Amino acid sequence: MIIGIIPARYGSTRFPGKPLADIGGKSMIQRVLEQAKKAKSLAKVVVATDDDRIAEAVRQLGEEAVMTRVDHPSGTDRCWEAYDRLIEEGSVHPGQSNYIINIQGDEPFIDPTQIDELAVILDGTVELATQMATVDSAEMLHDPKEAKIIINAQNEALYFSRAAIPYLPGIEPDQWHRHHNYHRHVGLYAYRADVLEAITQLPPSSLEQAESLEQLRWLEAGYRIKLVTTTYQTPTVDSPADIEKILRSGL
């Protein structure tokens, strides 16, 4: 069973109330829900929120919202609490081979095929999985907001970094992407249920704190993260200006 969980908190520092922001006559959370429910792989889609206003908006759409604590440090932790509550309520049967896909609540135009691309590899042996895309510009490669990934021959992550890795000696940095196949992280996560429980109990790691990337905590603890290539690059909403940009693009 694969469950889609959309973490949606109200108190965004840069954009408070972001999930309820209007985008062309629909709230952002409504748009994310509509897209997620088109994915063929998901048996269930719920919103995990810390705010009654978001929960009520979701329920008015006839969809399911799960209330979670306000103080979660990440969407991963919010996903675990929501999954655990679904088990307590009896709407989900516990099982090691259950998977949870963390669907970003600030990507209102996520393509459902992107979710299905990730879900297809969740065969019970995969512990954690996420997506990557090819880096096609120097600007993207050297942007610290973009996490770059080193992968092994089994398409598993060796390391994530905000820096451009690997370093290419003797080549100008603005030409590195022309001489090596770089990959950047695309933030759609899948967790096997038992692994999700375990990683939320881990203390912050030194690499995670250095790079401010939570997936490094999992790698340091010895978990394997499978990578799936995607060509889908949907816009993320971080500010009201991003909504205006999306509307101008005609999406």
Return d(Cα 110, Cα 114) in angstroms, integer: 7
Distance CA 66, CA 51 (A): 10
pLDDT in tens, 163-207: 999 999 999 999 999 999 999 999 899 999 999 999 999 999 999
| Closest by Cα among 147, 146, 133, 125 to 223 | 125
CA–CA gap between residue 80 and residue 99 (Å, rounded): 11
* DSSP-assigned beta bridge partners for residue 185: 132
Q: Please, what is the angle between helix 28-36 and helix 112-119, to 10°?
A: 50
CA distance 227 to 133: 10
Nearest to 85 by CA among 65, 62, 105: 65
Nearest-angstrom CA–CA distance, 41 and 53: 29
Alpha helix stretches (DSSP H) within 28-178: 28-36, 52-60, 75-89, 112-119, 138-141
Picking from 40, 39, 83, the residue whose alpha carbon sits closest to that of residue 64 is 83
Which of 79-88, 151-160, 240-249 shows the lowest per-residue confidence on average (mean pLDDT)?
240-249
What's the mean per-residue pLDDT of the chain? 94
Pairing of strands 225-229, 128-134: parallel
Question: For 108-144, what is each residue's pLDDT tens digit?
Answer: 999 999 999 999 999 999 999 999 999 999 999 999 9
Query: Has residue 153 got a pLDDT over 80?
Result: yes
The pLDDT value recorded for residue 12 is 75
> What contacts 139, CB < 8 A, 6 or more positions away?
none
d(CA 92, CA 96): 12
| Residues ≥6 apart with Cβ < 8 Å to 206 | 220
Whole-prediction pTM value?
0.94
pLDDT computed for residue 250 by the predictor: 67
* Paired residues of 157 in beta bridges: 151
